[in-house]
Amino acid sequence: MHDALFQPISLGAIEAKNRILMAPLTRGRSDPGSVPNAMIAEYYRQRSDAGLIISEATGISVEGLGWPAAPGAWNDAQTEGWKLTTDAVHKAGGKIVMQLWHMGRLVHPDFLGGEAPVSASATTAPDHAHTPTGRKPFEPAREATKADIVRIIGDYAAAAQRAKDAGFDGVQLHGANGYLIDQFLRAKTNLRTDEYGGSVENRTRLLREVLEALIGVWGAGRVSVRLSPNGETQGCDDPDPASLFGAAAKVCQELKLGFVELRQPGPDGTFGATDVPKQDALIRSIYTGPLVLNSDYTAAQAAADVAAGRCDAVSFGRPYISNPDLATRIQRGAEWAPNVNVPQSWYLPGAAGYIDYPALESAAA
């Protein structure tokens, strides 16, 4: 069933066995010090039937990571911990890229020894942060200096090298959902008057410079980006998303990225409004490489969009939580297991709601 999803595809230099990707999903199971562990390796191993796994968002630095027990990629212990995951996925016949994350103003000062987080401009995110001691209101960010920007680009490059050292198949830049890159992209959060603010070309400058740094480590064919060209997301918004994301797509085209993934508004979208125009057709008219959509898809909807040429592959997020063999279930036309204890178990420590979901054969038995 759904044959369109089970044709191999070249995602840049990455050869994927099918067109079902596992979308990045923060799960909060790392050891102290943001070190990935054997349980994380088992989680990804179980889900290796995806054509490509995009790892959970991974902090490029202490400054950029503001989520309890999320993994990092800035020291040797983290690199060694990630080797458990890449080895397990590769032995299971899968492929995996690391998603590189700087949260910008969404890092609470509790993660930074009381220091203010850094962002495009001195703004404050709405709502609350998840901290080791509970939910707390976000606090004002400081505007990144030119020296900060140079340092942050260096942190991205260093994390990309650690991803290579750990055995990943490539990297994805997290440019979506209101995090640092998105904060620079959108006019509501980028109030700068220098070469990183103002015009859409200026607001996409950091996106371009970070991607160039990643390409310097990996080559363009193993670098991708996730964008969320929709409405407001975690306080990030823009009055002219078509112009902005058209400019972002031009960057991706000029740099010949391996693929672009879009987090689009869906009927039950976690981020952003669901009633805003979707920008995938615009982006597809500018960026000619593989386009991956992520939008609360059913198997039938995903197959139809790939068959119609709207996209080249589809990434599934929450269904992969409770269906470790989701691609197999789709291929066989099997029912999907419901997300039991979700969202309660999304971010809790331990194996429950993480690696204890049975595969299809075990469930049938």
**Token representation of residue 51:** 């054509």
**Token representation of residue 202:** 């200026």
The answer to whether the beta carbons of residues 95 and 85 sit under 8 Å apart is no
The answer to whether the beta carbons of residues 88 and 42 sit under 8 Å apart is yes
Query: From the CB of residue 83, how many other CB atoms can be counted at a distance below 10 Å?
Result: 15
What SS3 class is residue 300?
helix
Distance CA 86, CA 92 (A): 10
The answer to whether the beta carbons of residues 326 and 336 sit under 8 Å apart is yes
Pick from 273, 210, 206: nearest CA to 241: 273
Helix 76-91, helix 146-165: angle, nearest 10: 40
Furthest CA-CA distance within the chain: 63
DSSP label at residue 187: T
Q: Is 179 a catalytic residue?
A: yes
Distance CA 323, CA 310 (A): 25
What SS3 class is residue 240?
coil
Catalytic residue among 44, 156, 179, 357: 179
**Token representation of residue 170:** 């490539």
Distance CA 124, CA 245 (A): 23
Which residues are part of the catalytic machinery? Answer: 179
